[in-house]
Amino acid sequence: MGTERKRKVSREPLRRGRQDLRLRQTRRRRHHQRHRRPRRRRRRGQPAPNRRGTSSPKTLEKRHTLPMWQQKDDFLTVLHDNQALILVGETGSGKHSDGIAPQYLDPQIHRSAAIGSGEWHSGFQYGVDKVFQPLPSSPSMGHELLCWGSVLSGESVFRPLPSLPSTGQSAFPSATALHLVCLYSFCCQLVGFTILYSTTDDLHGHCFMRRKFMDGLQCKFDVGWCLISTKYTHITLKPSYAIRKTLTSTPPLAGATATLSTPCLAAGECPCVRRRRRRHMVFFPEEVVEHILGFLASHRDRNAVSLVCREWYRVERLSRRSVLVCNCYAARPERVHARFPGLRSLSVKGRPRFVPAGWGAAARPWVAACVAACPGLEELRLKRMVVTDGCLKLLACSFPNLKSLVLVGCQGFSTDGLATVATNCRFMKELDLQESLVEDRDSRWLGCFPKPSTLLESLNFSCLTGEVNSPALEILVARSPNLRSLRLNRSVPLDVLARILCRRPRLVDLCTGSFVRGNIVGAYAGLFNSFQHCSLLKSLSGFWDATSLFIPVIAPVCKNLTCLNLSSAPMVRSAYLIEFICQCKKLQQLWVLDHIGDEGLKIIASSCIQLQELRVFPANANARASTVTEEGLVAISAGCNKLQSVLYFCQRMTNSALITVAKNCPRFTSFRLCVLDPGSADAVTGQPLDEGFGAIVQSCKGLRRLCLSGLLTDTVFLYIGMYAERLEMLSVAFAGDTDDGMTYVLNGCKNLKKLEIRDSPFGDSALLAGMHQYEAMRSLWLSSCNVTLGGCKSLAASMANLNIEVMNRAASINEADNANDAKKVKKLYIYRTVAGPRGDAPEFISTF
């Protein structure tokens, strides 16, 4: 009894406390029900009320008065042109350490350690270099601040606008205005190309990425989409965590979700911060990263990915199968193979176009390095290099599984080396000798391919000048069932071509042989019937020594052609050419001679509306006159608005024509204009062609290659530096007034890779003014300019990673010339290298 009474007494206070709690909750609930506002029902046609996360009309009116609103259009234009976004801190993420100074300016201790580690690893400063100015009239907006300054590797992401103040303070003080005014519009313009990142786990909370701004996207991204979907986008994860990446659009990796982690920062953090970050970040396994990187086919994108962090560098290094070396002296072959042990495809470029014969670029060291370190090599592509028969023998004997050998513009080998390759490489699929100089010793090399059948898919020997064994060629074609591309030289008779087409009617690419050799009368009808069965033919070239009589023979293949090269048919009359080209409705690439005339180009413009590339070559290279003018180019631009690449040799040009072309074709990526008279001005006004080329670089935002010609001053270089932000290759001749012209280009074109200048007045001051740009450039070529030996020595003393090669006509610079710093340099070639001065330089080259 006593125990039970004691238990009842001990439970009574707890029971009373629960009753009091229920009573208070009931009173509070009834109080709220009595004093709450009546719920209004929205009628049909009435706008929806403001909900949580949307802006009230008063807030919108307030934002209309911000300085950001007046500069909205200019800001959107800059974002759209640069394909760039800057994303900065999330509100509520602790940017105000003590309620007064933002952590942009006064970071916490662990953030300082992270910043220091990032600066030590990458070599450039993290964070911002601008002053933040919150709105004094709206303290609630002080948390959301926009950083538009230099946060990436010392360069501004957004180009300076004319309306921006120069006081060092941000013209866009509130990111809230950016949310409502710019962000949604910009994302709509770049659907599929833009992604917004956040480093917080609560992506629904205080951050840029909200569901209302990105229609149809989840707040947790797919891994593949999150990492690969941005194109040329500069990303700032936090004000103190800046990363620069250049990626391309790729299909997502299904099934995996994670938030993006901030690499390269763990080394300088304290252990507690590192553990805390690991709890909130999901790091991708190496297999996932390798699978994602497999979608990147561009060498440039792979290089950009390798710069993200050390882990990605290692994964990319081990998983890369294809490597491109743009300069054979930029790195040693052993170093390339040491970095990429799984190499399967190697492409190496040798000498530049303008260097004299005997400059170098031997292929033997690269082949020997492949033999020693890359036993699984399957593809080798060499461009403008010296390849010997011994080199080909070593290659063929060491790599019997070689599948592709491409030699573009190479020299030093003969048909004996080709016979060795054909005999030993039994799995060869592609053999391309485009524009190479091959010594003809034996025409039986075509019979050395394996029997009874081959795996050949592409064969190009159009550069050979000697005789070809026609029976061996026919047998080879018959034993190659997978052959899709065949390019013959001009010694193959017309009747042999007819029999080849009968055996392989499913060719896609064909370069014809000679049209004047063989049994012409008997082959006429046979060739016409053979072309009728070539329904898959897309590319057609050759036409060696062809006359107008043979144009009807190839008429059956017109309807499917997308690529047509008529630059080797000078004897075909323009009327027949025009009639033939007009039947090619699907044509996308066209190479013709200038004897087609302006009228012919006008007719082509009205017929080939899908044309994307046009090249007009001079019929007589030694003549100073041409039958095409600015009228033909204007007509082509008006009719073919998909045009992206132009190479145009003409007699004259005007500014108005170039301005019209720029308006009609803003998609230009390559524009090369060659006026036959280098110093010719505007044919109508007599003014320089500065305004015309200025319109080209201003309208064509994606321009990457530009060739200037005609009378030009420093003004055109000012336009190029201001507007040609994506320009990678620039060729200049007989242009400019002072050193300022070259300085404008080097200071403005941040993506410039190759610069070729000849017969221009640029000197030492212009050469030394671009030292900051040479580290990022591939090469610089100067010929017949005002550069002296003293300028070359000064540049060599300041830039240790550059090879500066001075070329004279006869021999190297002697001691007397070396002491004379004022001596002008005839030819100068500068390129970036990590291998140091080369050891095979000829006598006429002096390296500094």
Q: Transcribe 692-725 into DSSP letters.
A: HHHHHHHH-TT--EEE--SS--HHHHHHHHHH-T
Query: 115 or 759: whose pLDDT is higher?
Result: 759
Confidence of residue 116 (pLDDT cuts 50, 70, 90): very low
**Dihedral angle, C-alpha 203, 209, 211, 217, nearest 10 °:** -100
Answer whether residue 385 shows pLDDT above 60.
yes
Cα–Cα distance between 209 and 202 in angstroms, integer?
10
DSSP state of 452: S
CA 579 to chain CA centroid, Å, is 37
Query: What is the total residue count of the chain?
Result: 848
Per-residue model confidence (pLDDT) at position 413 = 95
Per-residue model confidence (pLDDT) at position 46 = 53
Confidence of residue 112 (pLDDT cuts 50, 70, 90): very low
Q: Which has the minimum average pLDDT: 16-25, 268-277, 307-316?
A: 268-277
Cα–Cα distance between 492 and 311 in angstroms, integer?
55
Sign (positive/negative) of CA torsion 201, 203, 205, 206?
positive
pTM over 0.75: no
What value does the mean pLDDT take over residues 361-365? 95
| Residue 842 near residue 360 (C-beta atoms within 8 A) | yes
Q: Which residue from 610, 607, 609, 600 is spatially nearest to 633, judged by alpha carbons?
A: 600
- Determine if the peptide bond prior to 452 is cis (ω within 30°): yes
Backbone angles phi, psi at 614, to 5 degrees: -135, 130
In which residue are the tokens 């060291």 written?
Answer: 365
Per-residue model confidence (pLDDT) at position 337 = 94
Q: Which has the minimum average pLDDT: 45-49, 122-126, 169-173, 690-694?
A: 169-173
Per-residue model confidence (pLDDT) at position 235 = 31
Structure tokens at 456: 């050949």
Q: Transcribe 755-777 into DSSP letters.
A: EEEES---BHHHHHHTHHHHTT-
